[in-house]
Amino acid sequence: MEKWHHKNNQIVGDNMPEMPEVETVRRGLNAQVKGCKITHVEIRYQNLITGDVEQFVEFVTGSTITNVDRRAKFLLIHLDNGYTIISHLRMEGRYRISADPAAIDKHSHAIFTLDNGQKMIYNDVRKFGRMQLWNTDDLDDNRSIAKLGPEPLSKGFTFDKLKPRIMRHRKDIKTVLLDQSVLSGLGNIYVDEVLWKVKIHPETSANHLSDKDIQNIIEASNQEMKAAIASGGSTVRSYIDATGHKGNMQNSLKVYGKEGTPCPRCGTEIEKIKVGGRGTHFCPKCQVIK
DNA sequence: ATGAATGTTAGCTA
DNA sequence: ATAGCTAACATTCA
């Protein structure tokens, strides 16, 4: 990890975020850059931008950030000119607000100069993250946004909506819960946590779930997201929020990264397997395929 | 030291 | 429409 203790070097993003981590980034950005005018834009990695890079720079330059919103794991940076920057951090994207030139390194792919002397720096070691400019009024027409299923803690996250969306699949439930078009916001950490909580084996076929299972998944997802947001996200590898503090949710994780340690519920060793290509943690005794 | 692993998504193919 | 696999990329770990 780099040194994060630069004075004047505020970190707003963490790597590898799920919804609670993105929410934490959103709050940090609102606290620090809301109302700021973007006086200059530099895109150092052209593939960061989906669409025309020159147009992105042209339209963003001179605009003012009115608010930062979020839909699932997408940040929506609203500008006062009718456009919104749709920003996805993917695996390792992060924002840093700093006036210190040392905050910029070889992994800084977009640099937004603000009228308060700070720079909003987008950093992304693996270069998976993407940004895209879109008409604020037509965000629902954006392909990435349009296909998102209901997200936990939102109005549409109900049994009636979720049941048919989940049950039409016969893939592993873990894979289905990670599919953002079925329901959105959950990622690899929290899906493992949710399935442990409701005692469902990650390789259970989605169409074999009972109504009670679905209801339990909904409740556990809401609880998990709420707790994770309240904790400022999970710091599994590294994490510092907008005010320089770590998240706390990693201390509450029961199975993610806990392979070889006893299940907090029954004492059986947590196992790690691969499901749908993703590392998957579960208790072989609590979570059995029916 | 090679291969596998890493909080993700989009885009192909069948 | 659904399922499964691959790519995008850099770094760390076994």
Topology agreement, domain A9-146 and domain A159-232+249-282: no
Closest of A230, A270, A267, A222 to residue A249, by C-alpha: A230
Nucleotides in chain C with any atom closer than 7 Å to protein CB:
1-6, 8-11
Per-residue flag: A5 CB under 7 A of strand B: no
Interatomic separation, CA of residue A188 and C1' of nucleotide B8, rounded (Å): 9
Per-residue pLDDT reduced to its tens digit, A35-65: 999 999 999 999 999 999 999 999 999 999 9
pLDDT value, residue A279: 96
Interatomic separation, CA of residue A72 and C1' of nucleotide B1, rounded (Å): 40
Of all nucleotides, the one whose C1′ comes closest to residue A233's CA is B7
The one-character DSSP state at A125 is T
Per-residue pLDDT reduced to its tens digit, A161-175: 999 999 999 999 999
Per-residue pLDDT reduced to its tens digit, A197-240: 999 999 999 999 999 999 999 999 999 999 999 999 887 764 45
The second-level CATH assignment, the architecture, of A159-232+249-282 is Orthogonal Bundle (1.10)
pLDDT value, residue A14: 43
Of all nucleotides, the one whose C1′ comes closest to residue A14's CA is B7
Interatomic separation, CA of residue A271 and C1' of nucleotide B2, rounded (Å): 26
Nucleotides in chain B with any atom closer than 7 Å to protein CB:
5-11
Does residue A278 carry a catalytic annotation? yes
Least confident of A8-12, A45-49, A285-289: A8-12
Per-residue flag: A226 CB under 7 A of strand B: no
Closest of A182, A189, A82, A178 to residue A137, by C-alpha: A82
d(CA A210, CA A218): 13
pLDDT of A13 strictly over 80: no
The one-character DSSP state at A94 is E
Give me A127's structure tokens: 């270069």
Of all nucleotides, the one whose C1′ comes closest to residue A125's CA is C10
Does residue A219 carry a catalytic annotation? no
Pick the catalytic residue: A73, A96, A174, A197? A73
Per-residue flag: A93 CB under 7 A of strand B: no
The second-level CATH assignment, the architecture, of A9-146 is Alpha-Beta Barrel (3.20)
| Cα atoms found within 13 Å of the Cα of residue A248, Cβ hemisphere only | 5
Residue ranges in chain A assigned as alpha helix (H): 19-33, 53-60, 143-146, 159-167, 173-178, 188-197, 211-230
Binding residues of A for DNA: 107, 126
Q: For chain A, give every domain's residue range.
A: 9-146, 159-232+249-282
